[in-house]
Structure 1
Amino acid sequence: MTQENATYKYEMKNDGSELVITRIINAPRELVFQVWTTPEHLAEWWGPTGMKLTVESLDVRPGGSFHYSMKSPEGFEMFGKFVYHEVAAPETLSYVSSFADAEANVIRAPFSPIFPMEIMNHLTFTEEDGKTILTMRGGPINATEEELNFFASMKGSMEEGFGGTFKQLDEYLTKITA
């Protein structure tokens, strides 16, 4: 599958170079899509374990963005940004994610000068027996060879990090559906 617009071309690869995470979530697809696209829900679960998320702005539509801050218990703060490319509720959500500053300008990752500036993420939500199968595929766009190699070397850490985020999602959905 290839997605194109004026600023990027991203081809989904089947060679193992992209990050692919599939989760079965014990909640209906419409609810899972809603918690990915509503500020009050995102603030409760999105981001690394232990970080407090603040939604700075959210406009879920093609061309819209999600700007957020994350603060650690020690006071370290960083920002992120999604720019949405495809929104087809409740089946599909595609966005470019980046680290950002307080004004939503894209910046380098605080932990590495060679982490890619932009990651294209494509999420599909499929419902089966009242549960949602969420598949997230992502990989760098507009990246140098050095950035691509660094991204590939970080796959294990990213899988672990998203594992914590998805655990928070599971716990949050359990809380709001109980």
Structure 2
Amino acid sequence: MKNYTTVERESERALVVTRTFNGPARIVFEAWTQPELFKRWWVPKSVGLTLLSCEMDVRVGGGYRLVFAGNPEPIAFFGKYLEVTPHSRLSWSNDESPDGTITTVTFEERGGKTRVVVHDLYPSKEALDAAIASESTGGFPEQFEQLDELLQMWTTK
């Protein structure tokens, strides 16, 4: 059965992305919190970006840093973990720009499947408008397809 990703503007400042994955919340959560797994699905293949490094200290107050090959200089995305509840909830800040979001991800398991909801809260309507216009919010369907593929390989071992 095919899983679909929905991307919806929930309010002037919020974007919500939802998808159900075939696998228990424990495994889906690990794919979000283990750098060696995260690197395998986070970057949409179609954008042609190379993830040079992925550092994750997944604990409240811990940080993350993703560095991508850029032209001419590398591009870094970074922030702090605000909430970490194993297998059910993650929240972090996106601190690389003044228009950074607060991202909260929930993992809800039912019958061996996990419903993931990503909630991005932008600092203003204009910041969300700009993100949508730049298509920086458009990668979720492809990213989640890649996560589905990783989970299929992992759960069928």
Q: Given the alignment of the two structures, is residue 149 of structure 1 paired with residue 126 of structure 2, yes or no?
A: yes
Q: Which runs of 4+ in 1 moved over 6 A?
A: none
Where does residue 99 of structure 2 map in the other structure? 117
Aligned ranges 1:9-158 → 2 under 5 Å: 15=11, 17-49=13-45, 50-71=48-69, 77-99=74-96, 108=97, 116-141=98-123, 148-155=125-132, 157-158=135-136
Distance 1:177 1:75 in 2: 39
Deviations 1:61-118 (A, max 9, x none): 111011111237x88732111310000001100001243xxxxxxxx4xxxxxxx532
Equivalent-residue separation in structure 2 for 1:75 and 1:129 (angstroms): 48
Q: Which has the higher contact order (CA 8 A, sep 6+)?
A: 2
TM-score of the two chains, using structure 2 as the length reference: 0.79
Given that 2:35 and 2:54 are in contact with CA atoms closer than 8 Å, whether structure 1 keeps it comes out as no
Structure 2, gaps ≥5 residues long: 1-8
- Coordinate RMSD, CA, aligned: 2.5
Q: d(CA) in 2 for partners of 1:98 and 1:122?
A: 14
Of all paired residues, the percent bearing the same amino acid is 30
- State the alpha-carbon separation in 1 of the partners of residues 72 and 151 from structure 2: 27
Contact 1:44–1:53 under 8 Å retained in 2? no
| Alpha-carbon distance in structure 2 between the residues aligned to 1:76 and 1:165 | 24
Q: How many residues align?
A: 145
Paired amino acid for 1:149: E
**TM-score in terms of structure 1 length:** 0.70
